Amino acid sequence: MRAFIFPGQGSQSVGMGRTLAEASSAARDVFGEVDEALKQKLSVLMAEGPPDDLTLTENAQPAIMANAIATLRASGIDLAAKADFVAGHSLGEYSALCAAGAFDLATTARLLKRRGHAMQAAVPVGEGAMAALLGAGLGLAREVAEAAAQGQVCTVANDNDPGQVVISGDRAAVERALDIAKEKGARRAILLPVSAPFHCPLMQPAAEAMAEALAEASVSSPIVPVYANVTAAPASDPDEIRRLLVEQVTEMVRWRESVAAMFEAGVTQYVELGAKVLGPMVKRIAPDATVISVVTPDDIDALVKAI
């Protein structure tokens, strides 16, 4: 069995999609449709930068999605024939839903633009933070977050793999967690270069904004089951998809559990589209699985031959 997986924020880089667009008319069509949907030359920003503008959450989120969907469409792969499941990390869940036909491309781009803007606006810059705890599992991370909170918000945001968990919340609390994590046995604890504290209760204003946006959006049943971040289980009902995407804004991304659940369901091959970020996590979660990360036209050719 096979799952196609889609990366989240942080996988953007200037130049993304440029070689793909030069090689594939299908990829160019994706970038053009996203530009039109957003009334913005996002494809130029992706190709040329500047980096600071591309890193802005409201630009990075639709850019990462567009690059992943362009990679898929350039391959010409029939997802219904070749995938048993799809899943994505945080914003990547929108990419997965788009790939599976739950959202059309223009709707996905507009939702992610709104999501990125709402998440950035939810907490003033500098008041929130996120940190990666390396060499720490979920249990240890929860102990660290609870000890660091001291009346503020500090919670687990991403359970990425058995040795990498991300916490999020008020800056002072997250900074306290750095020392606490080391005291409790984490190998390293490092602040992440992010502009907002994603996937924690401070994002509630963004969740409310997405509830409004998703209520207006057309959602279809996906052609293959989509593993949801907040349940680590497949979802296919449109109303359930809407609800889970709203919850996702403030809740923990259960990526480790999602990959493990797919592996237990029989998935032995994971295909990452648009980046080489999730692959190493998958191997740490399911060492016996195979991973194919697809970024370049050569990668696409190799994928088509492999499956």
Q: Is 81 exposed, middle or buried (0-12, 13-18, 19+ CB in 10 A)?
A: exposed
Q: Which stretches of 184-277 are DSSP H helices?
A: 204-216, 238-250, 255-264
* Residue closest to 100 by CA, chosen among 120, 126, 72, 140: 72
- In the set 11, 199, 258, 293, the catalytic residue is 199
| The token pair that represents 102 in the structure block | 């739950």
Give the C-alpha separation, 88 to 98, whole Å: 11
Q: How many CB atoms lie within 10 A of CB 53?
A: 12
User: 90 an active-site residue?
Assistant: yes
Give the C-alpha separation, 307 to 304, whole Å: 6
Contact call for residues 7 and 102 (beta carbons, < 8 A): no
User: 117 an active-site residue?
Assistant: no
- In the set 90, 168, 258, 293, the catalytic residue is 90
As annotated, the active-site residues are 90, 199
